[in-house]
Amino acid sequence: MDNIRVGPLRYKVVELPIVKSEDGRDLYGEIDYVERKIRISTAQPEAARLPTYWHEVIHGILAQAAMHKQNNNEQLVTILANGIVQVLQDNPEMSEV
Ligand SMILES: [Zn+2]
């Protein structure tokens, strides 16, 4: 993971030992729409990093579409992220399409 394009925007993806919210909470990941960075915490189990990465990508997709209400629905974002990761992992041939 280095850079990812979401719509017309390119985000730099960085892994860090600690990712904190603006109010000091520990996070698994975050997307920074201003600096165009996706930060992934390495403090979480390795198996959780890909769902976290997809979670932040989905935030980026929804933000790009100005779907703010859906973008603030963390449960929806997590369900979509986990679903995408599961489908891709269970159907590796999909990445060859
Ligand atoms: Zn989120």
55 CA to middle of ligand 1, Å? 6
1 CA to middle of ligand 1, Å? 19
Given this model, what pLDDT does residue 1 score?
64
94 CA to middle of ligand 1, Å? 26
Q: Average pLDDT of each block of 10 consecutive residues along the chain (97 residues)?
A: 91 97 94 96 95 98 97 98 96 85
78 CA to middle of ligand 1, Å? 7
79 CA to middle of ligand 1, Å? 11
CA distances from residue 63 to 23, 32, 73, 87 in whole angstroms, order as listed? 21, 11, 12, 23
Q: Are strands 9-16 and 3-6 parallel, antiparallel or unpaired?
A: antiparallel
Given this model, what pLDDT does residue 95 score?
79
Q: Which domains does the chain have, with CATH numbers?
A: 3-96 (3.30.2010)
14 CA to middle of ligand 1, Å? 16
67 CA to middle of ligand 1, Å? 14
